[in-house]
Amino acid sequence: MVRRHLKSVEQLIIKITFNFMFKKKLDKTDLEEIRKRQEMIHQYTLTAQALETQKQTFIMSRFHKYGLDPVKEYSFDLKTGKITENKKTNT
């Protein structure tokens, strides 16, 4: 959801920038504001990716504690704590 929102904001910024490139030119303060916001989006995305990696590493470090096979895939219900093995379907 966050990625979708970030992507739509990013697309809007690109669209606005693109439209002005061919018709008018942004003044320096507006351009700088757009650049700052774009950089914040980029930093937010990097932070989200880093947190996701940390979460996956934490989960993998707990596999032994719960007797889980690291080769298999599992789903974790964050409300109940239930662990479910994901069954692979043959295609």
CA distance 36 to 44: 12
CB 7 within 8 A of CB 42: no
Residues 6+ apart with CB under 8 A from 86: 72, 73, 74, 75
**Measured CA distances, 7 to 19, 24, 30, 32, 87 (Å):** 18, 25, 21, 20, 32
Q: Which two tokens mark 39?
A: 């950089």
pTM of the model: 0.58
Per-position pLDDT tens, the chain of length 91: 666 666 777 777 777 776 666 677 788 999 999 999 999 999 999 999 999 999 999 999 999 999 999 999 999 999 999 999 998 776 5
